[in-house]
Amino acid sequence: MFPGQGSQARGMGGALFEELPELTAMADDVLGYSIADLCRRDVDNVLGRTEYTQPALFVVSVLSYLDRQRREPVQADLFAGHSLGEYTALYAAGALDFVAALRLVALRGRLMATMTGGGMAAVVGMAADDVRSALDGARLDTLDLANLNTHDQVVISGPVDAIRAAGPVLTAAGASAYTPLRVSGAFHSRYMQPVSAAFAEELSRVDFAPLQRPVIANCTGLPYVDGEVRQMLAAQLVEPVRWERSVRYLVELGVDTIEEVGPGRVLTRLVEKIRSRPAPSATPSRPTPDRGRKVVASAGTTLGSAEFRQAYGLRHAYVCGSMYRGIASTDLVIRACRAGVLAFFGAGGLPAQHVADAVARIRAEVGEQAVFGVSMVHDPILPDNEQRLVETLLATGVPVIEASAFVKVTPALVRYRLAGLARAADGSTVVGNRIIAKLSRPEVAEGFLTPAPQRIVDALLASGAITREQAGLAADVPMADDICVEGDCGGRTDRRGFLVLLPAIRALGARLSAAHGYPRPVRVGAAGGIGTPQAAAAAFLLGADFIVTGSINLCTAESGTSAVVKDMLQRIDVQDTDYAPAGDMFELGASVQVLRRGVFFPARARKLHELYRRFDSLDDIDAATRQQIEERYFRRTFDEVWQETRAYLAAHDTRAVAQAETSPKHKMALVFRWYLGHSERAAMEGREADRLDFQVHCGPALGAFNQWVTGTELERWQDRHVDDIAEKIMVGAAGYLRRRYDELGLAGDQP
């Protein structure tokens, strides 16, 4: 690991300049002055100025690294650097040669030096969320968290006046030390945006070679991925340095030797401090006398079920739920997975080959061992689609699925579940294929809380879809590992809140788990309406083992829907959704929750369902109403819609065509359902001509989220990323719970 700004000192580099004269000469040529004179004598007293500090530190760190390799040629497994040190790490990993890297560093230093009027300060003795809460409480929201160095050492950044004002506030809030830093600008904050934009232009002209060894990115605390170096280096200027997360990642990875190379030992001390304290997930459930309540859930990583986090290898008990037709995209899954968040690719409505390609891409980006999932949506119209999807899931080895919209357990679900069962050496049952079932009705939950129906097991065994051993093990396990209680959410909904559903289904799960003798109860989480830390806190307080978000991820950079839709969604409030007939259950009158603001779709879809209920055929509809629908809703005739629909069904479901030819009522339903599908596709593709007919599945949680992030860095959807949202909601939920315990006088009983 390589140090950043603050580790410089007069005399650094010593004899290295003479020992490595070729690189020293290259540096002098790039910089236009003697790097050796600057570092060793600094007669003009400029070493502390950013434009000189950064290239000097980079050169000395590189020389130190090369000297170390010359003396002891041991290849590191990974590289990391703190802020500026990340450039040395990238050089050591082969991304850049010395001259190219030094030119970038010199430009970075010059650009950052132009941003005056800002400052930074180190805060010791407070966790990051405590610092943020204290600043917000004092209305010092112009300050950003710049360096998250350890669990109780944070650097803040912002306008000089606000830095001065924050000292007394944070000292009163519990900081043991508050030290303004000798810097010229508000580094790693929103105020570096002009520098980031200018630097990004230069980065676009630089050729980066593939990394020969992994490098930990400051922005994420996780390894770089090929193709992200430019993006990360530009973002690093405005994003906090997540140093503690970086070190935690290395420790969890099994790294046993971490060596600092370059001037000073600042990073070595930080690493020792981080390693001396258990990871947040291992924090005792009761506060210890010496640390007090401050450590409890300070990063949100202790909320929910530790068993759930362990089962899926997660940082948080937090899941990004699936969204139809790849709106929960490969990019969304990849970004979440890298941050230790479970996410599901939205396979509903997509061909099996498309799903297989998506799984292959995700694996190529995150590795074979990473855990992610794929959604499986019940398809009452084309049930064979379920079987085809399961064949793809089994062929590609997808380890977990999110089962949604099922009213009962189907053969396809049972096949997926049982195909992953095996007998361990100790006689226990090993579950290879896991299911998280999203539901909102106790009778549906019962089907997932009990073993697979015997009649389906027998049929699968007879067809050869499962082995005799798997059939015999079916009675040992419930159909689902986890139940997600789905409240009032986007898409199909029963309009019930999780405040009612969660306790009821938790009780049902505990009872059935005990009755069937499972080794552990089926875990129960919550979804629907979770768009703020307060809503997440409410779910965890009710006993949720995990939470699932959906609508708030719809309006992110990674979402697979169109930019036109995201622009619309970014402005909605909690009252801007409505209910409309569901396309796949149109005849039954089932509802989906959709966007209302700026569109006519909910009213028009309800009108079509009303006509379906009133009339027995399209021919029965009066001429004026027919004209209105054809000209305003469909913009084509009923006959044209039917011919398009018939052609599609002829290739996918010939039975539906035959039924429509003999049942005018069924034909009418198919024609009206065309509008629902057309409106959904138009929204995903962002067709401006069809904007008023956009069907966008969305719940009020997004409206609440929009209000929460107004005026922050997450206000624009282009700046919203699923991993950042997860972190902010979980950290915010932990902080909110702590404050509410204090306000209610329950601090001593806090879990």
One-letter-per-residue 3-state SS of 450-515? CCCCHHHHHHHHHHCCCCHHHHHHHHHCCCCCEEEEECCCCEECCCCCHHHHHHHHHHHHHHHHHH
Q: Could you say which of 7, 61, 64, 83 is catalytic? A: 83
Provide the CA 571 distance to its chain's centre, in angstroms. Answer: 21
Please give the single-letter amino acid code of residue 254. Answer: G
Does residue 212 sit in the same domain as residue 324?
no
Query: Residue 499 is encoded by which pair of tokens?
Result: 């405040």
DSSP 443: H
Say yes or no to pLDDT of 481 above 60. Answer: yes
Percent helix, strand, coil in the chain (nearest 5)?
50, 10, 40
Residue with tokens 């000798």: 182
Residue 294 belongs to a domain: no
251, 274, 297: which is the final residue of a domain? 274
Could you tell me whether strands 523-527 and 577-581 are parallel, antiparallel, or unpaired per DSSP bridges?
unpaired
Q: Do 348 and 465 sit in the same domain of this protein? A: yes
Global confidence as pTM: 0.62
Kindly tell me if the per-residue pLDDT of 299 is higher than 50.
Answer: no
318-320/342-345 β-pairing: parallel
Answer whether residue 173 is part of any domain.
Answer: yes
Q: Cα-Cα-Cα-Cα dihedral of 603, 608, 614, 615, to 10°?
A: 160
* 464 and 484 together in one domain: yes
For residues 381 and 458, state if they share a domain.
yes
Query: Which of 274, 293, 321 is where one domain is finished?
Result: 274
Q: Which amino acid is at 437?
A: A
Q: How far is CA 697 from CA 312, 365, 565, 596, 724, in A?
A: 28, 29, 11, 10, 23
Query: Three-state DSSP class for 257?
Result: coil
Does residue 466 belong to any structural domain of this protein?
yes
- Please check whether residues 447 and 532 belong to one and the same domain: yes
In 10 A of CB 117, how many CB atoms?
11
Does the structure show a pLDDT above 50 at 61?
yes
Q: Which residues contact 558 (CB under 8 A, 6 or more apart)?
A: 329, 331, 332, 335, 721, 722
pLDDT higher than threshold 80 for residue 347: yes
Locate all alpha helices (DSSP H) within 114-224, ordered by sequence.
Answer: 128-137, 160-173, 193-203
Residues in the chain: 751
pLDDT digits (tens, 9 = 90+) for 612-650: 999 999 999 999 999 999 999 999 999 999 999 999 888
Residue 25 covered by a domain: yes
CATH code at position 22: 3.40.366.10
Mean pLDDT of the chain: 89
User: What phi and psi, each to the nearest 5 degrees, are found at residue 672?
Assistant: -70, -35
Same domain assignment for residues 40 and 145: no
How far, in whole angstroms, is CA 268 from its chain's centroid?
30
Does any domain span residue 712?
no
Tell me the two tokens of residue 714.
């997450």
Of the listed ranges 559-573, 591-605, 643-657, 673-687, the least confidently predicted one is 643-657
pLDDT confidence of 703, banded at 50, 70, 90? very high
Can you give the residue range of the structural domain that contains 623?
Answer: 575-703
Residue 444 sits at φ, ψ, to 5 deg, of -70, -40
- Lowest-confidence region among 84-98, 201-215, 484-498: 484-498
Establish whether 316 is a catalytic residue: no
Check whether residue 210 and residue 174 sit in a common domain: no
Same domain, 449 and 579: no
Count of structural domains within the chain: 4
- Residue where a domain stops, chosen among 222, 251, 274: 274
| Residue pointed to by tokens 């199909």 | 492
Residue 294 pLDDT: 25
Q: Is 83 among the catalytic positions? A: yes
The partner residues of 400 in beta bridges, in order of sequence, read: 434
Residue 161 CA, distance from chain mean position? 35
516 and 597 in a single domain? The answer is: no
Give every CB contact of residue 628 below 8 A, 6+ residues apart in sequence.
Answer: none
pLDDT of 289 > 60? The answer is no
Is the same domain home to 524 and 401?
Answer: yes
Answer whether 56's CB lies under 8 Å from 62's CB. Answer: no
Residues 213 and 325 both lie in one domain: no
> How would you classify the pairing of strands 429-431 and 491-492?
unpaired
Neighbours of 227 (CB within 10 A): 10
Lowest mean pLDDT among 214-223, 387-396, 572-581, 715-724: 214-223
Statement to judge: residues 98 and 233 lie in one domain: yes
Q: Which of 188, 609, 697, 721 is catalytic?
A: 188
Q: Which residue has the higher pLDDT, 653 or 372?
A: 372
Average pLDDT over residues 440-464: 95
Q: Please check whether residue 582 is in contact with residue 715, taking contact to mean a CB–CB distance below 8 angstroms.
A: no
The pLDDT of residue 300 is: 60
- CATH code, domain with 496: 3.20.20.70
